[in-house]
Structure 1
Amino acid sequence: MALAGRTFGIVGALAAFPRRLAAREVERQGGHLRRGVNRQTKFVVFGRGLLAKASEAEIEARFDSESGQRRRVLSENGFLRLLGLASAPETSALTRQSLVDQSGLSPRHLDLLSLFDAFEHDGEPYSFRDLILARKYAGLMASGAGWGAIARSVHRSGNVASLTALSLHHEGKDTIYARRAEGLSELDGQLLLDVGSPDEEALEDLFAQAEAAEEAGEYDQAAAFYQRYLAIDRTDEVAAFNRANCLRAAGREAEAAHDYARAIKLDPCFVEAWFNLAGLMGERGRTDTARRHLRRAIEIDGDYADAIFNLAKLEFDAGNLAEARRWWMRYLELDQHSEWARAAERGVQFVNLHLLSRTAG
């Protein structure tokens, strides 16, 4: 299967397709779908719900971060097309650069608007209708509209291609209007393919409340929100992992260990869960268990520098100097410039001197 072993992460709530159905289809094709992003994530889907939760600057920063990690970013429609659940309109021949040159829309705004399906196509090749839309969006932005306002508004009219026949205007920065015979009106209508249920929306809101409480440092409250979420959806390993992190921050270590294990049971390749559980076991003096968990994390992700460094430190503290040196040397293959790299170099030097003195003696 084309998606076998691939991990997808979702940022923001989906509007075009229920998450549970998307997860089912990804699993059917041999992949994995998670909330959020971790080291295993290869594809990041930007849900349109993010437009209602985050500012333009926050979304741009997230887009830059995920793109910089060499992950493939997808719009909702791009995600559906990759899964084979939707097809792009057939008439498309324009390159990204050609669309930029002919429309006056900046490359960055083209990418951001494509990310939220403001065009017929989520990427090149684009269509002639996409060029018409790009010119309209460029005109709106030249007169002061934000790209986020455009992205939030366009799906209210149904299929975005229908906007090619409308004269678009804006008042202030945040509202886009169409000029019709009766005057200006908002782009009212249902969201494209909006088949989500109220229960699903409530679940998304509950997860968002948990994340907000966690970000604010209200760890007990966040853990309670995540627990309510998990009572509804028992299969979400990310919620279990996040709850474990909150419980650990709140000093509830036994409960945290249980939820890390729960996340691992739901996804045995959840490398961050193995790593964090190892750290918790190390803090509780369970060195052998911590060692096993760190080794498992490294088996899953051989370039996981943090796990490698922590395993070297654990072996050093346990007096296994040759093993510590081996893992520090491996760490230095991945990182030569950070403060952690300096610490690894000092560790290697110490072990070398110790072994040399023991040999000389």
Structure 2
Amino acid sequence: MAVAGQTFGIVGALAAFPRRLAAREVERQLGHLRRGITRQTSHLVFGRSLLSKASEAEIEARFDAEMDQNRRPLSENGFLRLLGLMTAPEASALSRQSLLDQSRLAARTFDLLSLFDAFEHDSEPFSFRDLILARKYAGLIDSGATWSTIARSVHRSGSVAALTALSLHHERSDTIYVRRAEGLSELDGQLLFDLGAPDDAELEDLFARAEVAEEEGLCDEAAALYQRCLAIDPTDSVAAFNRANCLKAAGRQVEAAHDYIRALKLDPSFVEAWFNLAGLMSERGRVDIARRHLQKAIEFDGNYADAIFNLAKLEFDADNLGEARRWWRRYLELDKDSEWARAAERGVQFVDLHLLPRTAG
């Protein structure tokens, strides 16, 4: 699949490749790489560091949520192969279903292990070595290991292909062991690629702390943490956008507007930034500017229902009834069942009643 025009997000720091180099390559191929998730994110890369930062349940919930949004999940190796920065191992004709049938590994477990590169290939076709690994992992699962325990352990041996010749064991711990002549030992070794620069890990940690503070309503603290993210990576449009949201929640509207504009300078197609800046302008009585910002959001995303509804409401309040009706009708093409849809229907009915005498006359 071509990278051009696609928007990539990353959750968790990359272990196999520095993020800044990946970002440079994505941009070179006319794609976009953002930290975090936006409406336009089409692919989400799951960094291996997530295994040490989040629980198994949290990772599964995140995986399910992204699948529900029809985003394509990518492993680190899958991401690098898509960019042409890593070659695929030997080709094979094994389909995913064939591998599952022959290994008896549960499909969901297989998908989660694949997400963290526990196999040679990250997608079809799979190799015979992938089948051997799947059978070994199925045995470990049967012995009580979890998929996350396996995923955390396998990269300690270097190339996962090397595991096909080893006898793997799980002994009621969070570690997978290999049986050697001298007894059980842990899987030792270096990662296949160099780790990213210290700034990469620091940035991921700061961003995660900022997100937690934001979720807990600690707006000033979150804004300060996002500012530290921007000091490390001034090109991060999502950090600027998130900081603006925190500043707005803290009542610091002028600063919030500045950071929304900063996010848009970094990424002019950032529809959520256009939408939120429009809301801020509307609250401050700057209706014409708010209208232009909402129109810009819709220009980039014609199915952005929230922006369409708000534009209809703005036109209604400005007594532009024909425009209000047009946008409410468009909203109802996207949403027919919610409370907002019922409000849009009432708006259309109200406008029809008021415009009818004028058109009849």
TM range (shorter): over 0.9
- Equivalent positions of 1:1-361 (< 5 A) are 2-172=2-172, 174-359=174-359
Query: After TM superposition, which residue ranges in structure 1, 4 or more long, deviate above 3 angstroms?
Result: 357-361
- The percent identity for this pair of structures is 80
Task: Report deviation, 1:172.
Answer: 2.6
Q: Structure 1 unaligned runs (5+)? A: none
1:315 counterpart letter in structure 2: E
1:216 counterpart letter in structure 2: E
Task: Report deviation, 1:360.
Answer: 5.4
- Asked if structure 2 preserves the Cα contact closer than 8 Å seen for 1:144 and 1:173, the reply is no
Task: Report deviation, 1:300.
Answer: 0.5
1:230 counterpart letter in structure 2: L
Task: Report deviation, 1:192.
Answer: 2.7
Larger mean Cα displacement after TM superposition, 1-10 or 348-357: 1-10
Residue 48 of structure 2 aligns to a residue whose secondary structure is coil
2:19 counterpart letter in structure 1: R
- Asked if structure 2 preserves the Cα contact closer than 8 Å seen for 1:156 and 1:192, the reply is no
2:151 counterpart letter in structure 1: A
Residue 45 of structure 1 aligns to a residue whose secondary structure is strand
Larger mean Cα displacement after TM superposition, 186-195 or 48-57: 186-195
TM-score, normalised by the number of residues in structure 2: 0.97
1:24-80 CA deviation, whole Å, 9 max, x = no partner? 001111111111121111111111111122222221222122122222211110010
1:28 counterpart letter in structure 2: R
Residue 179 of structure 2 aligns to a residue whose secondary structure is strand
- Asked if structure 2 preserves the Cα contact closer than 8 Å seen for 1:146 and 1:173, the reply is no
Cα RMSD, aligned residues only:
1.4
- Asked if structure 1 preserves the Cα contact closer than 8 Å seen for 2:223 and 2:243, the reply is yes
* Number of residue pairs the alignment of both structures matches: 361
Q: Structure 2 unaligned runs (5+)? A: none
- Asked if structure 2 preserves the Cα contact closer than 8 Å seen for 1:16 and 1:194, the reply is yes
Q: Distance in 1 between matches of 2:50 and 2:140?
A: 22
Larger mean Cα displacement after TM superposition, 343-352 or 67-76: 67-76
Residue 41 of structure 1 aligns to a residue whose secondary structure is coil
1:67-96 CA deviation, whole Å, 9 max, x = no partner? 222222111100100001111112321100
TM-score, normalised by the number of residues in structure 1: 0.97
1:107 counterpart letter in structure 2: A
Q: Distance in 2 between matches of 1:115 and 1:318?
A: 50
Residue 336 of structure 2 aligns to a residue whose secondary structure is coil
Larger mean Cα displacement after TM superposition, 14-23 or 199-208: 199-208
Q: Distance in 1 between matches of 2:199 and 2:24?
A: 18
Q: Distance in 2 between matches of 1:2 and 1:95?
A: 23
